[in-house]
Amino acid sequence: MPLAGKTAIVTGAGRGLGRAEAVELARLGASVVVNDFGRPGRDGSGEASAAPAEAVAQEIREAGGHATAHVGDVADFEQAAELVRLAVDTYGALDILVNNAGILRDRMVFSMTEDEWDSVIRVHLKGHFNTTRFAAAHWRERSKAADGGPVGGRIVNTSSEAFLAGSPGQPNYAAAKGGIVGLTTSTAGALAKYGVTANAICPRARTRMTEDVFAGLEPPDDGTLDALAPEHVAPLVGYLAAPEAAGVSGQVFVVHGGMVAVLERPKVAAKLDTAKEAFTFDELDGVLTPYFAERPRGETFAAVEVLGLKRG
């Protein structure tokens, strides 16, 4: 029980990945605050409901764990503060924050409305910031009370491979997920002196959010675990939340189907120096045009060359 005595918040935990993560953290011994706004539409539409969060909290309690449901919009600053207060007031402290809540409003960039852009950025990126802000303040105060000692806090954020490959029909989602990586690495640096880690995962899993993406990949009918089951992702979250992962921070992981890949930070793919005092248009044309002409068309810098992922 590596998380015995710990308290965790999991946002967007009423379904899919968040549910699997909340159940896994509870299985490892943590008391869990299960957050979900409970709206039925994956685009964030519909009436808020306590049912999804309460159902997962009840599932955890029936398995012998400790869980409390919270119905709230983490993209709302005050509701995010209330969520952190609930964890502290109910269980005495907060140790683990797993940010998972999100929505989809897909459209090509030339057709996207302002609201479709703003709403996805708000839920994903602002939602991650809001809970992080209040958790970080809690850990800072705990560290001060301990004369500057480490508090062992853990943040696990949810990004996506969409930020690597661009995801043409999801400019809002890809931008939000790229922003989450930046937020994660910044947070890791800012909170290191308090003994707090922050990491991001890019999961592949069959959920309500990805039903279109994996529409042609049906789950196995032989009783074996689906390679896209959220249960493949949850163990990594459990590990990153544990004391054993104290030396892991500021990292980005791709995880699915029994595989975990640690991404490298971007690195220089090619370095070109001017033969003169400064580059001219003609000189840049002479070096950059043939350089990119030799690369496969459509190959993205992040997905293939800079981060070293395998094609396909």
Catalytic residues: 160, 173, 177
Phi first, then psi, for residue 39 (nearest 5°) are -75, 135
Cβ 22 vs Cβ 34: under 8 Å: yes
Q: If we measure between CA atoms, which residue out of 10, 1, 55 comes closest to residue 32? A: 10
- Helix (H) or strand (E) holding 135, with range, is helix 127-145
- Partnered with residue 156 across adjacent β-strands are 98, 199
- Partnered with residue 252 across adjacent β-strands are 200
Burial of 160 (0-12, 13-18, 19+ CB in 10 A): buried
CA dihedral 181, 184, 185, 189 (to 10 degrees): 170
Amino acid at 68: T
The set of residues, in sequence order, having a beta carbon less than 8 Å from that of 255 and lying 6+ positions away, is: 201, 202, 203, 204, 232, 233, 236, 261
- Helix (H) or strand (E) holding 198, with range, is strand 197-203
